[in-house]
């Protein structure tokens, strides 16, 4: 029963979420996207779904098998990847959210952040990373770069002609960036010479674009110690050939064929994403420009990082979705055993495996978590747009919620993504473990998402130690207000009670756990840090519960139509078979830190 990898982008689901659950169109029209309507959104979604299915998906397995070739400082990508990338650039698909004045499509941010990201990573995660990084670099430049940097570099990033990277990690400094030693020495003409070694640089070197624009964290000679002394620099692989210290204005796009002291000295062999280069980058007196203020590197990098954290969270959904679709499709054709309650198809040699409760459990865990995460992602995407609103209250609310949701989207979606890929492999038994069925690649590829852009442990600490408490708990209040309203509104609606009651319990539990974390954490920060991961998962489940209750609410008004009946059934499955894990998580948070911190570490 050999099969090609299948993929159909969940367009109907986004239609439901954006138009029926979240009312995205009036919100973004109100933000100034006056011509962005339902039809245009639908056209974009359809177009991108078709593009990734036809251009990206067919080369995904090839990318995994062939990978990239590192030779003498150069990385050669598979020829098919270069062709696909160019096709996407030419069709304008890599710059949907970039501003029109920079050559982008200028549509609301949520399209790129959510729909683009999910479909792209499903179809070809390794390829999707390149434009995702470029857009991140573009946004930092467009927001904070001097005009000449924007004009010269950002526009070329917007189109996808050039690509970008984030250069943070050094061999001894990953999570702890305060220790970086890369130096940036100011020159008389206002530029800097950057010297140092960076590791784990995604697409640090490749031959898909003419130039590569690195955003590099470095320290100037007299910088303060630690993260307070870090600044951000733009360092291109190739300098403009006409550049001569007088700035970039009027300089042509022709590039100096001698690289700018930027070399790649190695590429990591990894478990997955074989067609996404992971480079050791050496900067040797490399010419660069400072982006933003001196010593303001960390906040700028965090702007980009937060964007990439959401993008990484979407990889969790993207890979889980394609794994689910292929496991489901396999299940539909597989016959083994009989329904334990009595055979269903006596004329067949065996019943279809979907009659088995445990097979359904696995597939529904996958489906329901995917759809719940997708709903939260869609909401987060719209909030990202709203965070730029001119209405101060709207912007404040949206900024608070995006801050709160970012670590959860990153950590919970990627945890679930890895679990779901595993569950889908399990559905397929031995076939799932074999290369030809494709799911094992998703299992390997998605695993990096728990590590990228700050490990999930770091996300949990960011949530529990910062996002929940900052500004006296304002972020959390912006969530609890609408959730409490929703719960109260539905209290007396009988058919909502199976969803509303457990949601209510979950929200109450979240409030209690949060108070516990804050109170105990003040006395002993180890308490907070020891419970952070379980707290983050608890929180993620409560958000998904809220999403499922909202989806059920909408769907109950349209009962009888199969799509909505399935949503109600999914909500039911969520509350019965997924949400109960919160009880155990709460107990683990409450169990505190002593059993960890009193452990005789020399005996580990």
What's the CA gap between 178 and 316, in Å, rounded? Answer: 29
CB 340 within 8 A of CB 480: no
Of 373 and 571, which has the nearer Cβ to a copy of itself? 571
Choose, by CB under 8 A, the member of 35, 39, 188, 598 that binds a copy of itself.
598
Number of residues located near a copy of itself, criterion CB under 8 A = 100
What's the CA gap between 25 and 482, in Å, rounded? Answer: 20
Is residue 361 part of the contact set for a copy of itself (CB under 8 A)?
A: yes
Choose, by CB under 8 A, the member of 450, 467, 504, 550 that binds a copy of itself.
450
State the DSSP H helix or E strand holding residue 113, giving kind and residue range, or none if neither. Answer: none
Is residue 224 part of the contact set for a copy of itself (CB under 8 A)?
A: no
Of 162 and 573, which has the nearer Cβ to a copy of itself? 573
Active site residue 581: no
CB 231 within 8 A of CB 289: no
Choose, by CB under 8 A, the member of 108, 204, 229, 272 that binds a copy of itself.
272
Q: Binding string to a copy of itself for residues 329 to 348, with x set by CB under 8 A, is what?
A: ------xxx--xx-------
Choose, by CB under 8 A, the member of 74, 90, 358, 495 that binds a copy of itself.
358
Choose, by CB under 8 A, the member of 129, 213, 300, 448 that binds a copy of itself.
448
What's the CA gap between 237 and 234, in Å, rounded? Answer: 10
Going from the C-alpha of 347 to that of each of 278, 344, 450, the distances in angstroms are 54, 9, 46
Of 501 and 526, which has the nearer Cβ to a copy of itself? 526
Please, which of residues 152-191 interact with a copy of itself by CB under 8 A? Answer: 169, 171-176, 179
Is residue 505 part of the contact set for a copy of itself (CB under 8 A)?
A: no
Is residue 523 part of the contact set for a copy of itself (CB under 8 A)?
A: no
Going from the C-alpha of 286 to that of each of 204, 241, 331, the distances in angstroms are 14, 15, 55
Which residue stretches of 334-356 are H helix? none
What's the CA gap between 528 and 209, in Å, rounded? Answer: 45
CB 315 within 8 A of CB 125: yes
Tell which residue, 196, 233, 200, 229, has the closest CA to residue 214.
233
Of 280 and 402, which has the nearer Cβ to a copy of itself? 280
Q: Find the part of the chain contacting a copy of itself (CB under 8 A) among 29-37, 140-148, 251-259, 432-440.
A: 432-440
Q: State in angstroms the smallest separation of the CB of 36 from a copy of itself.
A: 30
Q: Output the DSSP codes for 122-134.
A: HHHHHHHHHHHHH
Of 225 and 393, which has the nearer Cβ to a copy of itself? 225
Is residue 587 part of the contact set for a copy of itself (CB under 8 A)?
A: yes
Of 26 and 430, which has the nearer Cβ to a copy of itself? 430
Is residue 3 part of the contact set for a copy of itself (CB under 8 A)?
A: no
Is residue 481 part of the contact set for a copy of itself (CB under 8 A)?
A: no
Q: Find the part of the chain contacting a copy of itself (CB under 8 A) among 37-45, 100-108, 255-263, 459-467.
A: 459-467
List the catalytic residue out of 453, 498, 520, 581. 453
Is residue 577 part of the contact set for a copy of itself (CB under 8 A)?
A: yes
What's the CA gap between 253 and 155, in Å, rounded? Answer: 11
Is residue 86 part of the contact set for a copy of itself (CB under 8 A)?
A: no
CB 405 within 8 A of CB 293: no
Length of the chain in residues, anyone? Answer: 604
Is residue 4 part of the contact set for a copy of itself (CB under 8 A)?
A: no
Going from the C-alpha of 464 to that of each of 306, 403, 456, 537, the distances in angstroms are 16, 12, 12, 11
Q: State in angstroms the smallest separation of the CB of 223 from a copy of itself.
A: 16
Please, which of residues 391-430 interact with a copy of itself by CB under 8 A? Answer: 418, 422, 425-426, 429-430
Q: State in angstroms the smallest separation of the CB of 593 from a copy of itself.
A: 6
State the DSSP H helix or E strand holding residue 246, giving kind and residue range, or none if neither. Answer: none
Is residue 435 part of the contact set for a copy of itself (CB under 8 A)?
A: yes
Please, which of residues 23-82 interact with a copy of itself by CB under 8 A? Answer: none
Is residue 584 part of the contact set for a copy of itself (CB under 8 A)?
A: yes
What's the CA gap between 397 and 382, in Å, rounded? Answer: 12
Please, which of residues 273-292 interact with a copy of itself by CB under 8 A? Answer: 278
Choose, by CB under 8 A, the member of 62, 328, 343, 480 that binds a copy of itself.
328
What's the CA gap between 369 and 183, in Å, rounded? Answer: 45
Please, which of residues 229-268 interact with a copy of itself by CB under 8 A? Answer: 268
Choose, by CB under 8 A, the member of 115, 304, 461, 507 that binds a copy of itself.
461
Is residue 585 part of the contact set for a copy of itself (CB under 8 A)?
A: yes
Is residue 440 part of the contact set for a copy of itself (CB under 8 A)?
A: yes
Of 350 and 480, which has the nearer Cβ to a copy of itself? 350
Decide the pairing of beta strands 74-76 and 238-240: unpaired
What's the CA gap between 202 and 272, in Å, rounded? Answer: 13
What's the CA gap between 136 and 306, in Å, rounded? Answer: 10
Going from the C-alpha of 523 to that of each of 381, 520, 526, 544, the distances in angstroms are 36, 5, 9, 31
Of 156 and 570, which has the nearer Cβ to a copy of itself? 570
Tell which residue, 287, 276, 352, has the closest CA to residue 315.
276
Q: 148 φ, ψ to 5°?
A: -65, -35
Which residue stretches of 11-59 are H helix? 11-15, 24-30, 38-51
Q: State in angstroms the smallest separation of the CB of 242 from a copy of itself.
A: 38
Euclidean distance between the first and final Cα of the chain, in Å? 47
Q: State in angstroms the smallest separation of the CB of 198 from a copy of itself.
A: 12
Kindly tell me the burial class for residue 166, based on how many C-beta atoms sit within 10 Å of its own C-beta (0-12, 13-18, 19 or more). buried
Of 144 and 338, which has the nearer Cβ to a copy of itself? 338
Of 397 and 578, which has the nearer Cβ to a copy of itself? 578
> Which residues touch 169 (CB under 8 Å, ≥6 apart)?
177, 198, 199, 200, 201
Choose, by CB under 8 A, the member of 367, 374, 410, 467 that binds a copy of itself.
367
Is residue 83 part of the contact set for a copy of itself (CB under 8 A)?
A: no
| Lookup result for tokens 């624009």 | 213
Q: Binding string to a copy of itself for residues 542 to 571, with x set by CB under 8 A, is what?
A: --------------------xx-xx--xx-
Is residue 599 part of the contact set for a copy of itself (CB under 8 A)?
A: yes
What's the CA gap between 513 and 487, in Å, rounded? Answer: 19
Would you name the residues annotated as active-site residues? 453
């Amino acid at each position: 029963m050999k099969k090609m990898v299948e993929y159909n982008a969940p367009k109907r689901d986004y239609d439901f979420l954006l138009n029926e659950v979240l009312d995205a169109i009036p919100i973004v029209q109100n933000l100034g996207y006056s011509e962005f309507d339902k039809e245009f959104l639908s056209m974009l979604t359809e177009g991108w779904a078709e593009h990734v299915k036809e251009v990206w998906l067919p080369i995904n397995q090839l990318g995994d098998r062939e990978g990239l070739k590192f030779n003498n400082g150069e990385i050669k990508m598979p020829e098919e990847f270069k062709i696909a990338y160019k096709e996407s650039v030419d069709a304008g698909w890599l710059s949907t959210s970039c501003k029109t004045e920079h050559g982008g499509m200028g549509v609301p941010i949520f399209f790129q952040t959510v729909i683009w990201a999910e479909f792209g990573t499903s179809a070809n995660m390794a390829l999707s990373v390149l434009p995702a990084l470029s857009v991140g670099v573009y946004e930092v430049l467009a927001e904070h770069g001097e005009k000449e940097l924007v004009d010269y570099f950002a526009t070329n990033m917007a189109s996808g002609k050039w690509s970008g990277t984030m250069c943070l990690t050094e061999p001894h400094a990953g999570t702890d960036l305060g220790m970086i030693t890369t130096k940036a020495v100011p020159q008389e003409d206002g530029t800097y010479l950057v010297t140092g070694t960076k590791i784990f640089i995604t697409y640090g070197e490749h031959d898909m674009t003419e130039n590569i624009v690195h955003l590099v964290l470095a320290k100037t000679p007299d910088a303060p110690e630690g993260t307070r002394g870090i600044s951000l620099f733009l360092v291109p692989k190739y300098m403009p050939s006409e550049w001569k210290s007088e700035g970039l204005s009027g300089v042509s796009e022709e590039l100096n064929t001698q690289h700018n002291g930027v070399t790649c000295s190695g590429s990591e062999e990894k478990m997955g994403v074989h067609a996404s280069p992971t480079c050791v980058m050496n900067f040797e007196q490399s010419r660069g420009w400072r982006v933003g203020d001196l010593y303001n590197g960390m906040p700028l990098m965090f702007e980009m990082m937060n964007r990439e954290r959401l993008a990484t969270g979407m990889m969790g959904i993207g890979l889980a979705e394609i794994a689910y679709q292929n496991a489901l499709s396999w299940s539909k054709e597989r016959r083994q055993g009989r329904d334990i309650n009595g055979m269903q198809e006596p004329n067949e040699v065996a019943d279809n495996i979907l009659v088995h409760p445990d097979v359904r459990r696995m597939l529904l865990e996958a489906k329901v978590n995917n759809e719940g995460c997708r709903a939260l992602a869609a909401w987060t995407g719209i909030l990202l747009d709203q965070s730029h609103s001119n209405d101060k209250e709207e912007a404040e609310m949206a900024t608070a919620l995006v801050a709160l949701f970012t670590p959860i989207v990153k950590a919970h979606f990627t945890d679930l993504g890895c679990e779901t890929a595993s569950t889908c492999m399990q559905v397929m038994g031995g076939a799932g473990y074999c290369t030809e069925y494709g799911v094992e690649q998703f299992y390997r590829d998605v695993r990096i998402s728990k590590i990228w852009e700050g490990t999930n442990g770091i996300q949990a600490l960011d949530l529990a130690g910062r996002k929940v408490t900052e500004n006296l708990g304002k972020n959390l209040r912006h969530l609890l207000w609408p959730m409490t309203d929703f719960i109260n509104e539905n209290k007396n609606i009988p058919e909502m009670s199976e969803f509303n009651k457990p949601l209510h319990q979950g929200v109450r539990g979240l409030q209690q756990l949060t108070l516990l974390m804050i109170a105990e954490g003040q006395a002993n920060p180890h308490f907070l840090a020891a419970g952070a991961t379980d707290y983050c998962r608890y929180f993620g489940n409560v958000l998904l519960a809220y999403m499922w209750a909202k989806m059920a609410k909408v769907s109950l008004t349209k009962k009888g139509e199969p799509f909505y009946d399935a949503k109600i059934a999914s909500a039911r499955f969520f509350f019965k078979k997924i949400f109960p894990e919160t009880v155990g998580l709460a107990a683990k948070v409450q169990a505190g830190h002593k059993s960890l911190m009193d452990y005789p570490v020399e005996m580990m």
